[in-house]
Amino acid sequence: MLFVTNDNKVYGFGSNQYGCCGLGHNRVVNEPQLIPELSDQNIIKFFTGPTFVLAQSSDNKIFV
């Protein structure tokens, strides 16, 4: 799971299969961890697939 907080920080946690939480590993994450590369990027939407997650910013940048 990925989420954005009111202060524009992005966190990930969960099964992290295929490293889809964007934390640089594929181990299970039991507590939310900050994803610095996506924080302060004005992420407005996530797109998910079986083995990937994309993030879209308010200025239409895509992060993979």
Look over the chain and give the mean of its residue pLDDT values, rounded to a whole number.
Answer: 91
pLDDT of residue 17 exceeding 90, the answer is: no
- Which residues have C-beta within 8 Å of that of residue 23, sequence separation ≥ 6? 12, 16, 29, 33, 35
pLDDT of residue 40 exceeding 90, the answer is: yes
Please spell the DSSP secondary structure of the chain, one letter per residue. -EEE-TTS-EEEEE--GGGTTSSSS-S-EEEEEE-TTTTTS-EEEEEE-SS-EEEEETT--EE-
CA distance 17 to 41: 24
Q: pTM above 0.95?
A: no
